[in-house]
Amino acid sequence: MTQTYENYIGGEWTGSESGETQDVTNPADESDIVSTVPVSSTAETDEAVAAAVDATDEWAGMPGPERGAILRETGEILKSQKDELAETLTREEGKPLGEAEGEVQRAIDIFYYYAEKARDFGGTVKQPSGGRAGLQTKKEPMGVAALITPWNYPIAIPAWKIAPALAVGNTVVIKPAMQAPTVGAKIIEALDEAGIPDGAINLVCGPGSEVGERLTTHDDVDVVSFTGSASVGEHVYDQATNNGKRAQAEMGGKNPTVVMPSADVDKAADIVGAGAFGGTGQACTATSRAIVHEDVYDEFLDAVVDYAESLEIGNGLERAGMGPHVSEDELAGSLEYIDIAQDEGATLETGGEELTGGEYDAGNFISPAVFSDVEPDMRIAQEEVFGPVLAVIPVSDFDEGVEVANDIDYGLSASVVTEKIEEENEFIERSESGVVKVNEKTTGLELHVPFGGLKRSSTNTYREQGDAGLEFFSYIKTVYRNS
């Protein structure tokens, strides 16, 4: 069933000025049109920002518990629609239905979490000196927040930006990715049904070159939050900060898992395989490098190849082990890196082929790829692929493993698989990444703790999620009272 969505501006659903629309198709079956959305420009963007400005006083002036009640009701509405939302997510993004269900639940939990945070969001009271009657801090919303979100987690990432921005009293304009905007639009529907004031939340569908560019430079936008590729994120951050805005950009990753001889090798292969091939490798935290001690290298390689070959590739609605790439362009990018890796001398142990025939002809399918004989300076070991492609790199000891893990332009997520507590502790201390895990896959995040990276993975200004999300969308006012 095809759904039709318009922009949501000032409490009204409205099309683009040009009337142009775009079909969103199922990457597992491109004849399946999931939704039709408007292709908007700067005109609609300006209208959305103006609506957000007009709603600022009403939304910021609403008591925190009342804002929290609207966020909680939004979570309840999303909960009642969980099965439908998960199916829509799978149809437009491609990930297996089980993964989609988990992502939808995460969005629900995020709204519940920030609903409670809105209740006690405030400041601190300090003991004054002299004859002052009081000394305190007061937290205030930044104003109008522009949110630019990606397609790979099309309900979770919008939720973890929208909820904290609204919780502290900002009004919002969000631009979802055009490859998968439908479940993001359903968040807006839920907020509308929950009774959010007109203009407090606004949705504009359109290309980043117009809508995103306008949001990052608009005089009435106060804060910009972006998730996407490093090249685009760096541009967004520079534009936003050059125009005097607070900004954050969470970007790419080239995430390692270091496997030591003390590890259970089969367990390590399961951890790496799940991190590398879950979501078709289309995650900024996906495991793209397995850095393995030479004593267990061959055993690990056999085990992770078995893992890759055991995955059933197919339509996510049928709960396949791995779904398709989100688009033909993304598939082409992975296939290009398969060729680059072989040209550089890496050995393709399994996978890396575009799948054709039968149901595969209708979608963007690839078999999960595992490479051996990978040198740390090869492009396959240095550049983000954003697909189910794993480079397995041998090292002679723990120190070399840590050095190879860190010798990269990115620093988002990293893990170590070991049974030695001293290696766990040292890896935690020495890892140059914003997220460090022990005996876990590099993917998967808790919503109540900060998330963000180092190096080119992040602008490293403010973190997302947890209390850090609230801090980004607010500023501190210090109040002196004299008697």
Structural domains for the chain:
3-251+458-482 (3.40.605.10), 255-438 (3.40.309.10)
- pLDDT bin (cut points 50, 70, 90) of residue 186 is very high
Report phi then psi at 335, rounded to 5: -65, -35
- pLDDT bin (cut points 50, 70, 90) of residue 483 is low
Does residue 380 surpass a pLDDT of 70? yes
Q: Which pLDDT belongs to residue 86?
A: 98
The pLDDT > 90 percentage for the chain reads: 93
Q: Which residues neighbour 14 within 8 Å (Cβ) at sequence distance 6 or greater?
A: 6, 7, 8, 44
- pLDDT bin (cut points 50, 70, 90) of residue 124 is confident
Question: Which of 444, 447, 475, 434 has its CA nearest to residue 163?
Answer: 447
- Tokens encoding 426: 């040292």
Pair type for strands 223-227 and 144-148 = parallel
Question: Which of 291, 144, 107 has its CA nearest to residue 220?
Answer: 144
Question: Span 339-361, mean pLDDT?
Answer: 96
Question: Which of 301, 294, 276 has its CA nearest to residue 388?
Answer: 276
Of the listed ranges 124-133, 164-173, 315-324, the one predicted with least confidence = 124-133
Question: Span 65-69, mean pLDDT?
Answer: 97
Question: Span 139-146, mean pLDDT?
Answer: 97
**Residues pairing with 139 in the sheet:** 476
pTM, two decimals, is 0.95
Q: Which pLDDT belongs to residue 107?
A: 98
Q: Which pLDDT belongs to residue 133?
A: 75
250: annotated active-site residue: yes
Report phi then psi at 161, rounded to 5: -100, -45
Q: Which pLDDT belongs to residue 2?
A: 81
Question: Span 145-151, mean pLDDT?
Answer: 97
Q: Per-residue pLDDT tens for 70-82?
A: 999 999 999 999 9
Q: Per-residue pLDDT tens for 197-230?
A: 999 999 999 999 999 999 999 999 999 999 999 9
- Tokens encoding 411: 């620093």
Question: Span 160-184, mean pLDDT?
Answer: 97
Of the listed ranges 45-54, 121-130, 310-319, 443-452, the one predicted with least confidence = 121-130
Question: Span 310-330, mean pLDDT?
Answer: 95
Quote the mean pLDDT of the chain: 96
Positive or negative, the CA dihedral 254, 259, 263, 264 is positive
The catalytic residue among 250, 330, 349, 464 is 250
Q: Which residues neighbour 315 within 8 Å (Cβ) at sequence distance 6 or greater?
A: 28, 29, 323, 324, 359, 363
Each residue of 388-417: b (16+ CB within 10 Å) or e? bbbbbbbbeebebbbebbbebebbbbbbbb
Alpha-carbon gap, residue 471 to 474, rounded angstroms: 5
